[in-house]
Amino acid sequence: MHRAATMLAALACWAQAADPLAIVRPLPPTQATLAELVAAGALPRSLLERQGQDEADRADEAVLRRTLYGTLALEELSEELGRQMLSAAERRFARRQARVDAAKKLVEEGALPRLALTPLLEELDRARRELDLARGRIRLLEELAEMARAEATEASVSSFPPAALAPPIERFDGPAAFHGGLLRVLALDFELHFGRSLPISANGATALHRALGLDHRGRVDVALHPDSPEGVWLREYLRQRGIPYYAFRGPVRGRSTGAHIHIGPPSEPLRAGGG
């Protein structure tokens, strides 16, 4: 009990110091320190639980900073990282929902003013928007995965002549080599024609293609339906310049829609040491 009282006094000094340069303050209490104080009956267990929640929240925030808000490009986001991102956003939302529910109960009991709910509801709303953003990114990631799997299916039959391929796949074996310079010109021409950016969904090697064992280097996926006005324009643009492409119009062998235009030759199986 004497040890608990000593730590409690140190905690009080740490919390009350106004100027960090005025005194040498003790370090803030660790999880182990709080556990000892709770065990000694000097602090309520709810304080220990809240610190554990705060630490878990910081860990989830770090995951979201990297995957949802950071510089990690969508093509670098693997399915596993996507699951981690979504789980972190769901846990942060659940914690804030639990705090709102607990506060509402106290308000109903008259132990807390109704205005105390305002900041908690604002935090809950931010967490809900964050969760919606994570879910939207997951949906896009799943669409890219379906596109990549469709390419894997197509790669398995790529030895057949073009005439043997029936809808929903259209194949054009142009003689031109596709490279970054052509992509920049294409993107500029598309923007000048349609007044918006070319919707590139995968540029070169991606985590999804690598996970499927496909070499997607030098290839580009564009999120356009082949029969939309933009898709028709793009297919004609590529044909006039002899650039090879695959146009996926719909489901491929039980896969989901994944309608898109793959620019470049078919993705090949990854070799050992490949990108």
pLDDT digit string, tens, across residues 166-191:
456 888 888 888 888 888 999 999 99
Instruction: Tell me how crowded residue 167 is: count the other CB atoms within 10 A of its CB.
Output: 10
Determine the structural domain holding residue 208 and report its residue range. 69-275
Q: Is residue 18 part of a domain?
A: no
How confident is the model at residue 236, as a pLDDT? 95
Confidence of residue 73 (pLDDT cuts 50, 70, 90): low
> What percentage of the chain has pLDDT greater than the value 90?
30
Considering its fold, how many domains does the chain have in total?
1
How confident is the model at residue 259, as a pLDDT? 79
Range with the largest mean pLDDT of 6-20, 138-152, 183-197: 183-197
Confidence of residue 42 (pLDDT cuts 50, 70, 90): low
146 or 87, greater pLDDT: 87
Q: Is residue 181 part of a domain?
A: yes
254 or 38, greater pLDDT: 38
Q: Which tokens hold the place of 30?
A: 């660790």
Q: Is residue 45 part of a domain?
A: no
Q: pTM of the entire structure? A: 0.49
246 or 113, greater pLDDT: 113
Q: Is residue 7 part of a domain?
A: no
Which residues lie below 8 Å from residue 148, measured CB to CB, with a gap of 6+?
A: 202, 206, 208, 209, 212, 214, 216, 267
Q: Is residue 6 part of a domain?
A: no
Q: Is residue 117 part of a domain?
A: yes
